[in-house]
Amino acid sequence: MVDIHCHILPALDDGAASVEEALEMAETGIQEGITHVVATPHANSEFRFDYDAVCERRNELQARLGDRLRLATGCDFHLSVENLELIRGRPTNYAINQKRYLLVEFADFAIPPTAEEALHGLQLLGLSPIITHPERNRLIRSQPQRLWRWLRQGCYIQVTAQSLLGKWGESARKQAEEWLDKEIVHFFASDAHNTHHRPLRLREAYAVVEARWGEQMAQSLFRENPLAAFEGRDLPYEPQIPSAPDLTAPPVRRRKRFIFF
């Protein structure tokens, strides 16, 4: 499996507190069957994104791990005015493995009225926005038409693996299940922060998806699409997005597009 959202780099944000904890997180991931991890420290008002420091920490951790786990960098990009100005200088510094996909996080307390314009601005920079853990965001859950617009705009959805297991509450779990039924999810990721409460685990959620939605869906959301994002390729699996902004209607089975390599 491939994890595109992980706060594994030590002492850069509220993720791993030390090199020792980062290594323990990595060992957990290896045991889970994870082969690639994208280290994505926060870029928000609390934690400044320092690309040089991110690369330095990544290189130090990779040297300790050898070829047992492949690490790349990106960031958990908060959609703020300041960040939108900063990213114009070197957009790929913020992207997954310095390619084209960018994790975009919305605040829990407000969604900017100009969000669609901001996301389009990122696309004009050559980036492909991935909306991170919308199932955990109460405002997004209550405004499905906003999510629909982002999907129709060409953005992607990443769900937190622990959400599907109920670790972020029943509302987040039910929302993740509903979106899986409607086939609008593109990625699962760990959003791991530490070794205890938010560990680097994907296997249990993979098993849930495989049992209920099928092996091909599990492979697409935990392996094939994340690997494509890691490598900067088009996604092998792209759900057909609803043609109308009604994400609360009963799910309708649609044809899916899978690309095999």
Q: What is the mean pLDDT of each run of 10 residues along the chain (261 residues)?
A: 98 96 98 98 94 97 97 96 95 98 92 93 98 96 92 97 97 97 97 95 98 98 98 95 56 42 33
Annotate 129-173 with DSSP letters as a single string: EEEE-GGG-HHHHH-HHHHHHHHHTT-EEEEEHHHHTTTT-HHHH
CATH numbers and ranges of domains, the chain: 2-258 (3.20.20.140)
Neighbour-count burial for 29-59, b at 16+ CB within 10 Å, e otherwise? beebebbbbbbbbbbbeebebeeeebeebbe
Quote the pTM value.
0.92
